[in-house]
Structure 1
Amino acid sequence: MKMRRLTAAALFGLPLALAAAAADASDFRSLAEPAILYDAPSKQGKPLFIIQRYTPIETVVTIDRWVKVREPAGSLLWLERRQLSEKRTVIVTAARADIRQRPDAAAPLAFEAAKDVVLELSDKPADGWVKVKHRDGTGGFIRINQVWGL
């Protein structure tokens, strides 16, 4: 009897655990074009500011043609879904970040990037590093704690 209770508890707890894990999953995208961010999902909403092309954003909710997003500064705002791109980017959050030729702090420097520089994501993060590419074509590895958008 005790075994059944544990099994039932495990079965009922599993969907809750999966739902919680799904809620923690982030969907990051970038912008295909400069976009106006609104306070509501409508052009009748108050336009708050314009965000630049390729800026990474986190999608939170989609309602028809509108998407609620978290922008790099942390604000939750709305934009038109058509403005999203499949291209993945990250934005440098450190005052100055070293991008290395290999995912190793002792590796030669590929280039440096200042705060708010947008880099294209080249691969999935691994072991605390992520492979990125600058718009000039130079690539390398940056520590994941120095970027936002993953």
Structure 2
Amino acid sequence: MRLPRFSKAWVAALLATAAWSVQALEFRTLAEHGTVFYDAPSAQARKLFVGSRGMPLEVLIENRDWLRVRDQSGALAWVEKKALSDKRSVVVAVSKAEVRVAADAKSSLLFVAEKGVLFQLLEAGKTGWVKVKHRDGAVGFIRIEEVWGV
């Protein structure tokens, strides 16, 4: 029995796709107010926008002292690695998100958070809920699909 021949390019593309599909998303948080985002990994590159502390970012590429990141809106940019923290945050991605006492839709409602509200991520559970902390100290649970940054 003869096996089909595949081109090296086709095999390489297949392996790259397989590697991409198993790679977990990596999120980090902006550590400083006024951090500049660039269109290339250099402080001499064109400045695109400025971010605020606590902003969650998805890390796409690491290039020495620079990271290629995506923000909640989908904007792509380069930022210096030193400007990011491993401390995690999430942002409300829907018009209103209910923050509950426990990871259960039937638990008591703590408060409702508007779109764009930042929370410190305390725990990313496997139950469809994330444990978060608001800057005023309130700790609760939000459905994972209602936040971005996990």
Q: What TM-score does the superposition give when structure 2 sets the normalisation length?
A: 0.85
Counterpart code for 1:33: E
Q: Give the CA deviation at 1:148.
A: 0.4
Given the alignment of the two structures, is residue 30 of structure 1 paired with residue 29 of structure 2, yes or no? yes
Structure 1 spans left out of the alignment, 5+ residues:
6-11
Q: Distance in 2 between matches of 1:61 and 1:69?
A: 7
Deviation at 1:111, TM superposition (A): 1.8
Q: CA deviation at 1:83?
A: 0.3
Match of 2:72 in 1: 72
How far off its partner does 1:105 sit? 1.1
- Please tell me the residue identity of whatever aligns with 1:104: D
The amino acid of 1:46's aligned partner reads R
Is 1:52 the counterpart of 2:52? The answer is yes
Deviations 1:73-129 (A, max 9, x none): 111101111001010110001111110001111111112211111101111222211
Rounded to whole Å, the distance in 2 between the matches of 1:65 and 1:144 is 31
Q: Which has a greater percent of helix?
A: 1
Distance between the aligned counterparts of 1:85 and 1:145, measured in 2?
Answer: 23
- How far apart in 1 are the matches of 2:88 and 2:110? 21
Deviation at 1:18, TM superposition (A): 6.0
Q: How many angstroms apart in 1 are the aligned matches of 2:139 and 2:112?
A: 11
Alignment of 1:11-22 (within 5 A): 16=15, 19-22=19-22
